[in-house]
Structure 1
Amino acid sequence: MPDAANLSSFPLRVALGGDHAGFPLKQAVAEHYGPRLTSLIDCGTDNAESCDYPDFAIAVSREIIQGRADRGIVVCGSGVGVSVAANKIPGIRAAICHDTYSAHQGVEHDDMNVLCIGGRIIGSSLAMEIIDAFLAAKYTPGERHARRLDKVLEIEKKGLEIL
């Protein structure tokens, strides 16, 4: 597993967002990681009033696509909604990860750039371990990983025309 002990050595710019269900965990993440990263871009929400998760998946993804963030973290109740929404955006590779292995392996093998977490599914302690693994990981484009990622990018480019 990647060395997550010294995240301050990584020049990471992270976009963070979440809906009302993810708000408490999003705030804990912001407080924990804000001082440890090159920059933490808070994409909202800023309260626990009901709001729509796609808005925050879009806001976080925009920061990555426009080059202002290297990675993104989006939190909703289950992690499912933000994952579905973020994956609709070309250039975003998002996944729900509720364990450390998937969080680092998703980056190392699949070049995942957005971590999705269910704020009602896991606690803040586990979430921080998962985020540590995600942020410390680096894409390692071995032949088989690069080949598979190229296929994913081709699907993104062609959509159903690939069939």
Structure 2
Amino acid sequence: MLALACDHGGYELKQEIINYLNSKNIEFIDFGCTSTDAVDYPEYGKKAAHAVASGQCDKGIIICGTGIGISISANKVPGIRCALCHDCFSAAATREHNDANMLALGARVIGVGHALKVVETFLNTPFSNDERHIRRIEQIEKEF
């Protein structure tokens, strides 16, 4: 199950991602928002992040205008490793090396066609399970 959320700036791209997910029979929960009316991105980023952190969803995709604010918000939730990616190389690397469980996109930064390729890459790239990457993730999760 995939968590999906956006603010008003990401609403139209989220609709395109929903069409993609439906075409691939990928199940998701849409945590909002539901229009282009102005909203605050932290509310929606955190809703999706809590769904992933709790195990309700396996991964998440969140979208705002730049992807920056919503990714920062999601990363405040313990257990979330949300990566802002606008290219397929980064999307694959963050799955392989960081076992990222959430992807952030900036709707005002990336075109729809390329965004869908980034989503596909993120969803289809497995974690490498390499010892060095596991060690680094444990360091990320460790409180100072």
Which TM-score bucket, shorter chain as reference? over 0.9
Q: Which residue of 1 aligns with 2:34?
A: 46
- 1:90 is aligned with what amino acid? P
Over the residues paired in the alignment, what is the CA RMSD in angstroms?
Answer: 1.0
Shift of 1:37: 3.9
Shift of 1:63: 1.4
Distance 1:77 1:143 in 2: 36
TM-score (ref. length: structure 2): 0.96
Map 1:103-142 to 2 at 5 A: 103-142=91-130
Distance 1:141 1:123 in 2: 32
Q: Which residue of 2 aligns with 1:71?
A: 59
Q: Contact 1:14 / 1:37 at 8 angstroms: preserved in 2? A: no
Distance 2:90 2:2 in 1: 19
SS of 2:9's equivalent in the other structure is: coil
In the alignment, structure 1 residue 25 sits paired with structure 2 residue 13: yes
Measured against aligned partners, the alpha-carbon deviations of 1:121-143 in whole angstroms (never above 9, x if no partner) come to 11100000000000001111212
* Max Rg structure: 1
Distance 2:26 2:68 in 1: 28
Shift of 1:84: 0.6
- 1:60 is aligned with what amino acid? A
- 1:69 is aligned with what amino acid? C
Q: Which residue of 1 aligns with 2:134?
A: 146
Shift of 1:144: 1.1
Give the number of equivalent residue pairs: 144
Distance 1:37 1:131 in 2: 14
TM-score (ref. length: structure 1): 0.85
Instruction: Give every structure 1 segment of 4 or more consecutive aligned residues whose post-TM-superposition deviation is greater than 3 Å.
Output: none
Shift of 1:53: 0.4
Measured against aligned partners, the alpha-carbon deviations of 1:51-98 in whole angstroms (never above 9, x if no partner) come to 010011111112112222111000000000011101111010001100
Distance 1:41 1:35 in 2: 15
Distance 1:118 1:27 in 2: 14
Shift of 1:38: 4.1
Distance 1:118 1:151 in 2: 28
